[in-house]
Structure 1
């Protein structure tokens, strides 16, 4: 009987596991998908082979690619881009780790305080949360992104917007800056040669500027797993949780079981407290494990699904509700000169506009770039607008590029510069995850249904998107683009948050301020679904991992009589020599 069972090894679960294992608890992590133990042999950089949501290696589905992916039911035309497996969706994230906006937290009293979703704030202050952000920044570690040609162009355009150049971590006002990202800095030959024979560890260390973040990080080749450049959880927190006995005095290595799909949360008679879970293995067998504490970290879709299929209480109707997804849009410029768009980390520069969200440079390899430039909610650019009613707002055209214009734009991806619009969304009860009334159950139970009013968002969310798209167009034109296009992206659910939100008001939240279920003890949630809101439009992973760290600390205090550590200890980095030695010795 472990002390804690964690359901899910994506962006949040390994954080809780690592922190509690380091304090000597017996932790078991159950992951429904696969573990890619040897990515250099298992992965490729072929975009369709890796990213195809049906047949790709990085998809929501079982580890055997011959089997079908796990279904989702969409009543609207939309698309969820997630990954099952150890590392979860951090396997293809860009490592962007900006801090959340202080205006998303209780107690904020800045001049723009009314520009946020004030009905759904975090139930504690930003000042209280900051030490947990700092803890994660040192653990991953998070550093200021390495710069290249595309970032220099982005900065040139940003300067023309008249906003400040930000050189600090906390968001203080409209500003532009290098990303704070969880990608190891290039050292040695990394970033200084394109010779693959000289981009091997230890001659090359950190980011090699390969430009393939979305396909999972393989670089530098031959590096120990915890020294791979991009700090997805399979490269950072997972190695730490599996070696906690080696680097933490009194620590105990966590256990990880993959291809273990949790189908039910067990509770004490009367449902007063969680007591364990039932999981299904690849051979179809069901297994029961009991634990003193259960932590759900399966994500914004699977957590509500598991809650409903387990028959857990939902007295206020907020389980699965309030899903936010950063109402994304995509604006790109075509340049006459080299932009270096395909080199380096996928996103290393950003502009922040508190109360609206942000605009960040995102560059992709060719097939994904083509996808992004044809994935529109409008019609064909220059022909019809499909009734979208979205004006150019500084762009030359809006909608799906086709024909000669698409060929011209894609003639050389290194002549493009792109800006991703990431809004600060309102939490909307109509955006939710339920169980499908139409699709038949899969082997694990009823299929989740994802309902998003993407085309009927609140006035504030729509305002934020249009405002940011206009700023992005202005930035690209000032950077030297000869043509600027706005895509009016169709619903792409990439940054999902808040479907099991914490909050101060018991009428509109599932979790209390500690991440604990309001309707039963010993049951916690520690991933994006626990976020109270869309964190002001910041990329959510750092906020999620800081919240998971805080939740782990609360679990340790409440259920195991321990003392808090974030304010009294120094964090150990995932690239600490003790971690590296243990990873090598144990073949992790």
Structure 2
């Protein structure tokens, strides 16, 4: 019997696995998708090769790319863009690591306290999570982003809004700043040359400004895996988990099994209480079962509810799968008369926070993703039809997708004359937005999930927040000098997704208790974005999810293994520790 089985090696699972392995526990980490152990041999920077949702190496599907992707049903106009594989969706994230706004936690008493989702706050104070923020920030490590011309252009626009520069990690008021992100700063010749012979480790370290964050990270060439620039979990927490014995006194390396799709969480009654006992997973056509004292679900906001339902676990208050939040994104971009540097360097290095409404991020994209971003709309083709959703404001013409000759004209200006802004809304936790099991035929892994958004029935606060931030984005672009501004009115793009297995103080509307343990099944914990209590005020969810996962790991250790907390009593080991690099080389990684 194992001490702990962790389901899912995405943004949250490796955090729990690494932390508990460092304390000497026997941890099994199961991942449904592939393990890209040597990405420089397996990956390219071709956008379709990476991001095609059916055949790309970054897709929701098995290792064998000749096999079909795993299906999910979403009945509305939307796109669930989450990945399988070791590293999960962090493989293509932009590494942005802002902290949640304090207003989404219990005990907050600021003047804007009623501007948030007051019915779904975190069941503890912001101050309680700060040590865990700091632990993750040191471990990754999180740094002030490397910047270039596009960030300079973004800041020029932000200045015209009359907001101050933020100088603290905690956001207290509307302000703008460089991103805090988990991407190693460029060093040596990185960022100073395009000569490929000089962009090789150790001549170059950290980010080499390739501009392909969304295709995974495999640079600098020649670097050890734990020295790759972008700190996705396959480059940070997973290497630490696999080498725990060399950097943690008494640590025990995690056993990682990829292509292991968990199909059942097993339970039994113990002393009259339903308790998790283990899991069954599929590997090819073979089923395996293993038991453990504790099971941790970290399969993501869509897969955790699917596995819960297909395992026949109880749902006494009906909240499993509900409250699926997506930050109700929108996309606003400007066309400039001169150079912006849009696709170059770190994908997103500048942000503007506007609590309690949400925030804005500059996002640089390569060409195919830029075209995709300009066409994912809920308002039809711009200027032709509106579907009742065309919106007017400080942008040019009605909102909607940019298509045909107009798209060609926009892109003909050159990618280096665009500046794109992602609108991130603090959206309410709504029970109607949810994951259920589809009525469509099951696949080889069991029933498939159905993701439902009542897109046109969002709360008044969510709609207000989105309109407010979209207008701020347009004003920022105008202030920066954009000659033309487009608003797309995005359909749901499920990148920032949270809360489908939410933590809460009330048994009426939460799945897990304040420790991270599920209320209905003892010994079963949730440790990823799905456990987040709300939309965080709008900031990117990864840091808060990983801080919460670290806290949950401590609760597991104290509750089931009589261990002492460690975050406040020791210093974290940084994921770039050279001892990890040496051990990875010994393991052939």
**Which band: TM-score by shorter chain?**
over 0.9
Cα distance in structure 1, aligned partners of 2:582 and 2:307: 38
Give the corresponding residue for 1:509: 510
How many equivalent pairs are there? 586
Give the corresponding residue for 1:243: 243
> For the Cα contact (< 8 Å) 2:96–2:179, is it kept in 1?
yes
| 1:367-398 Cα shifts (integer Å, max 9, x gaps) | 10011111111122223322104223444442
Cα distance in structure 2, aligned partners of 1:395 and 1:145: 31
Displacement of 1:557 after TM fit?
Answer: 0.4
Displacement of 1:581 after TM fit?
Answer: 1.6
| 1:65-94 Cα shifts (integer Å, max 9, x gaps) | 011111111122221001100000000000
Give the corresponding residue for 2:582: 581
**Residue 416 of structure 1 pairs with residue 418 of structure 2:** yes
Displacement of 1:215 after TM fit?
Answer: 0.3
Cα distance in structure 2, aligned partners of 1:474 and 1:380: 23
TM-score (norm 2): 0.98
**Residue 198 of structure 1 pairs with residue 198 of structure 2:** yes
SS at structure 2 position matched to 1:131:
helix
> For the Cα contact (< 8 Å) 2:502–2:511, is it kept in 1?
yes
Displacement of 1:463 after TM fit?
Answer: 0.6
Give the corresponding residue for 2:317: 316
User: Unpaired runs of 5+ in structure 2?
Assistant: none
> For the Cα contact (< 8 Å) 2:332–2:488, is it kept in 1?
yes
* Aligned mate of 2:274, from 272, 275, 282: 272
- Aligned residues: CA RMSD: 1.0
Give the corresponding residue for 2:110: 110
User: Unpaired runs of 5+ in structure 1?
Assistant: none
Give the corresponding residue for 1:465: 466
Q: Where does structure 1 differ by over 6 angstroms across 4 or more consecutive aligned residues?
A: none
> For the Cα contact (< 8 Å) 2:266–2:311, is it kept in 1?
yes
Give the corresponding residue for 1:43: 43
Give the corresponding residue for 2:347: 346
Q: How does 1:476-487 map to 2 (within 5 A)?
A: 476-487=477-488
Q: How does 1:139-150 map to 2 (within 5 A)?
A: 139-150=139-150
Give the corresponding residue for 1:170: 170
**Residue 64 of structure 1 pairs with residue 64 of structure 2:** yes
SS at structure 2 position matched to 1:331:
strand
Cα distance in structure 1, aligned partners of 2:365 and 2:403: 19
Q: How does 1:78-93 map to 2 (within 5 A)?
A: 78-93=78-93
> For the Cα contact (< 8 Å) 1:396–1:483, is it kept in 2?
no
Displacement of 1:530 after TM fit?
Answer: 0.4
Give the corresponding residue for 2:569: 568
Cα distance in structure 2, aligned partners of 1:299 and 1:145: 27
> For the Cα contact (< 8 Å) 1:34–1:258, is it kept in 2?
yes
> For the Cα contact (< 8 Å) 1:80–1:493, is it kept in 2?
yes
Cα distance in structure 1, aligned partners of 2:67 and 2:312: 29
| 1:168-189 Cα shifts (integer Å, max 9, x gaps) | 1001100000000000000001
> For the Cα contact (< 8 Å) 2:390–2:398, is it kept in 1?
no
**Residue 432 of structure 1 pairs with residue 430 of structure 2:** no
Moved more, 396-405 or 108-117: 396-405
SS at structure 1 position matched to 2:301:
helix
SS at structure 2 position matched to 1:273:
strand
SS at structure 2 position matched to 1:96:
coil
Q: How does 1:184-333 map to 2 (within 5 A)?
A: 184-269=184-269, 272-282=274-284, 284-333=285-334
| 1:408-438 Cα shifts (integer Å, max 9, x gaps) | 211201100010001101000000001012x
Cα distance in structure 1, aligned partners of 2:153 and 2:77: 35
Displacement of 1:494 after TM fit?
Answer: 1.2
Displacement of 1:196 after TM fit?
Answer: 1.4
Give the corresponding residue for 1:73: 73
> For the Cα contact (< 8 Å) 2:382–2:401, is it kept in 1?
yes
| 1:123-146 Cα shifts (integer Å, max 9, x gaps) | 000000011000000000000001
Cα distance in structure 2, aligned partners of 1:516 and 1:556: 12
Give the corresponding residue for 1:559: 560
SS at structure 1 position matched to 2:537:
helix
SS at structure 1 position matched to 2:2:
coil
TM-score (norm 1): 0.99
